[in-house]
Amino acid sequence: MIGMPARMLDGVAVAAQIRLELTTRIAAFVEAQRRSPRLGIVLVGEDPSSEIYVRNKLKSAGESGLRADLIRLPATARLDEVLEVVATLNAAPDCDGILVQSPLPPALGAAAEQAVFDAVDPRKDVDGFHPENVGRLVQKRPSLVACTPLGVIELLDRSGIAIDGARAVVVGRSDIVGKPIALLLLHRNATVTICHSRTRDLPAVCASADILVAAIGRPAFVTPEFVKPGATVIDIGINRVSDAAVVHRIFADGSRRLADFERRGSIVVGDVHPDVAGVAGAMTPVPGGVGPLTIAMLLANTLKAAEARCSGLR
């Protein structure tokens, strides 16, 4: 390692601060409306990662004073049954937010996810996945915006990392993460490049970034050659790895993460290689980086949706 190791951006602490701020606002909502903001979470099937995410979302919501209900459907559910649940939540006057956990079971077909996201009332769309909200984001009009991208901006702002005028490179062009992050960075006056699997000279393009966002979904894909010395590196990846050879290739002998792996048989690895800490100025760890922010912003979006509905906005 050359020079100072990167400053680790503490997503757990920033998320705790945001949740604390929300608790006060939620209490004021309860006082004024005589009810809690309510979030309906729909989980179809039993994907192990989704089970963990949903459990964390329910727990955080409850701790902040939101009411969160889990509506479960079996992996064998038909698309019309999922749409029926969404329609019921759309029609419920005291339901403020709706989240259908992704991914849906593959048996529902490739088009199911879009059909379900399209069916959510845009005013209750706390994921920001509805095309109306995506369109409003493109036009920089107030809307519900996807939670992970919002969390990245909060983490940068609250860590004192300047976005205005920065060169930002986003690797990954998904509707859920890559595209909305690129738009949020653009709206904050970053000069934004979106890269993907067909980008030529990917390491060189990434190495031009002051802010590099990795949203690829491949463990430890971003190595030191992708990173300009002193750059800020945001790791969106949540990759569960159970292949010992892969884990040993990524983590040094004697490291804490390797010990975690030996104990549990699998670990979660980000899209950014740990050696990047020797080059970057600041970076997010995995776990404990962007993940906690995503949940905090889900709570923020639920409160925002509740406040907007109760004040008749939109």
Residue nearest to ligand GUN (CB): 102
Q: Does 239 bind ligand GUN (CB under 6 A)?
A: no
Q: Which stretch binds ligand GUN (CB under 6 A): 22-30, 98-106, 180-188, 269-277?
A: 98-106
Query: Could you tell me the smallest distance in angstroms from the CB atom of residue 239 to ligand GUN?
Result: 13
101 is catalytic: yes
- Segment interacting with ligand GUN, rule: CB under 6 A, options 94-102, 131-139, 160-168, 218-226: 94-102
Instruction: Output 144 or 202, the one with its CB closest to ligand GUN.
Output: 144
Is residue 59 annotated as a catalytic residue, yes or no?
no
List for the chain the helix, strand, coil content (%; round to 5). Answer: 45, 15, 40
Stretch that binds ligand GUN, among 100-108, 132-140, 165-173, 189-197 (CB under 6 A): 100-108
Rounded Cα gap, residues 26 and 16, in angstroms: 15
Among 61, 95, 147, 212, binds ligand GUN (CB under 6 A): 147
Residue whose token pair is 């006060």? 24
Stretch that binds ligand GUN, among 70-78, 93-101, 213-221, 264-272 (CB under 6 A): 93-101
Cβ pair 208, 167 in contact under 8 A: yes
What is the spatial distance between Cα 224 and Cα 276, in angstroms, rounded to a whole number? 5
Q: Closer to ligand GUN by CB, 101 or 284: give it.
A: 101
Closer to ligand GUN by CB, 126 or 282: give it: 126
Which tokens is 259 given? 């010990």
Helix (H, G, I), strand (E, B) or coil at 201: coil
Catalytic: which of 47, 57, 96, 121? 57
Told to check if 148 binds ligand GUN by CB under 6 A, we report: yes
Number of neighbours of residue 210 by Cβ within 10 angstroms = 19
86 binds ligand GUN (CB under 6 A): no
Identify which of residues 238 and 272 has a Cβ nearer to ligand GUN in the complex: 238
Residue among 127 and 210 whose Cβ is closer to ligand GUN: 127
Coil, helix or strand for 270? coil
Backbone angles phi, psi at 194, to 5 degrees: -105, 125
Beta strand 97-100 pairing with 38-44? parallel
Question: How many angstroms from the chain centroid is the CA of residue 238?
Answer: 10
Specify whether 228 is catalytic: no
Considering only residues 266-295, where is the footprint of ligand GUN by CB under 6 A? 294
Does 99 contact ligand GUN by CB under 6 A?
Answer: yes
Using alpha carbons, list the distances in angstroms from residue 205 to 48, 181, 200, 259. Answer: 35, 17, 8, 34
Say how many C-beta atoms besides its own lie within 10 A of residue 145's C-beta: 24
Name the residue nearer to ligand GUN (CB basis): 6 or 293.
293
Which ranges constitute the DSSP H helices of the chain? 11-33, 48-64, 79-91, 112-119, 131-138, 147-158, 178-187, 202-206, 244-250, 256-264, 290-310
The answer to whether residue 127 forms part of the interface with ligand GUN (CB under 6 A) is: yes
The residue annotated as part of the active site, out of 10, 47, 96, 101, is 101
Q: How many CA atoms lie within 13 A of 219 on its CB side?
A: 18
Our finding on whether 64 is near ligand GUN (CB under 6 A) is no
Q: Name residue, tokens 């030996």.
A: 262
Catalytic residue among 10, 125, 127, 271: 127
Binding site for ligand GUN (CB under 6 A): 53, 99-102, 127, 147-148, 294
Catalytically active residues, by annotation: 57, 101, 127
